[in-house]
Amino acid sequence: MKRLKYHIVILLFLLTSVLSKNLLAQQGAYDTLKVGAYITPEGDTIGQSYLPPVLVYGRMTKHWRNYWADWTRLRNAVYVTYPYAKAAGRIMNQINAKLVNVADRSKRRAIIKQHEKELKKEFTDKLTQLSVYQGKVLMKLINRETGNNCYEIIDEYKGFVSAAFWQTIAIFFGSNLKQSYEPTGKDLDMEKIVKDVEVMYGYRTAS
């Protein structure tokens, strides 16, 4: 039994010697793999390599299908109506600048009527082609450009009766002239789209 153990020890020793020689024989110019390195803030160097990307596919849920459908509809409406909102804001600023020192009501009405004709001439045919949804988006964008909702604008330029009349019509079509624009709240998606549109139309540089 002792003799068998002795032979096993000798055999293991011989195998170890052969393997060591083979490993030493394989060492040379091509026994090292070069890899990238990452140097930690503490100054340690760690070997670094990159794994290939893994693509994971999954079915879009109903919630996200509806979300992206609504987002696409909103994006298209903003693209269509933004130029009108921008033009309306520009003309309203011109009107307000002329009305600053005018106290006479008849003169104020004449100034407003002059610009009203300008707006009708330029936009009536185009605006009548908008859908109800696009009209809602336009009212929000006008609020964004002017700081006033459409009810306040009509009340200021045309009087309370006209404002109340058009508010009734708007409510009938499921809208509201008094709706506000909340770029960091419920209108966050619209604000993101508007900023992209502003880059497209040259009102803002890409950041």
* Cα separation, 69 vs 191, whole angstroms: 17
- DSSP bridge pairs for 39: 45
| Residue 205 forms part of a structural domain | no
Question: Helix or strand or coil: residue 194?
Answer: helix
Region 172-200 average pLDDT? 84
* Average pLDDT value for the chain: 76
* pLDDT given for residue 192 in this prediction: 92
| Residue 51 forms part of a structural domain | no
| Residue 44 forms part of a structural domain | no
* pLDDT given for residue 194 in this prediction: 92
| Residue 56 forms part of a structural domain | no
| Residue 162 forms part of a structural domain | yes
Element (H, E) at 37: strand 36-39
Main-chain dihedrals φ then ψ at residue 176, nearest 5 degrees: -160, 120
61-83 residue pLDDT tens = 999 999 999 999 999 999 999 98
Structural domains counted in the chain: 1
Per the structure, the complete domain to which residue 111 belongs is given by: 62-200
Least confident of 6-10, 39-43, 98-102, 132-136: 6-10
| Residue 127 forms part of a structural domain | yes
pLDDT at 19 over 60: no
Split at pLDDT 50, 70, 90, the class of 163 is low
Is the model more confident about 46 or about 114?
A: 46
| Residue 21 forms part of a structural domain | no
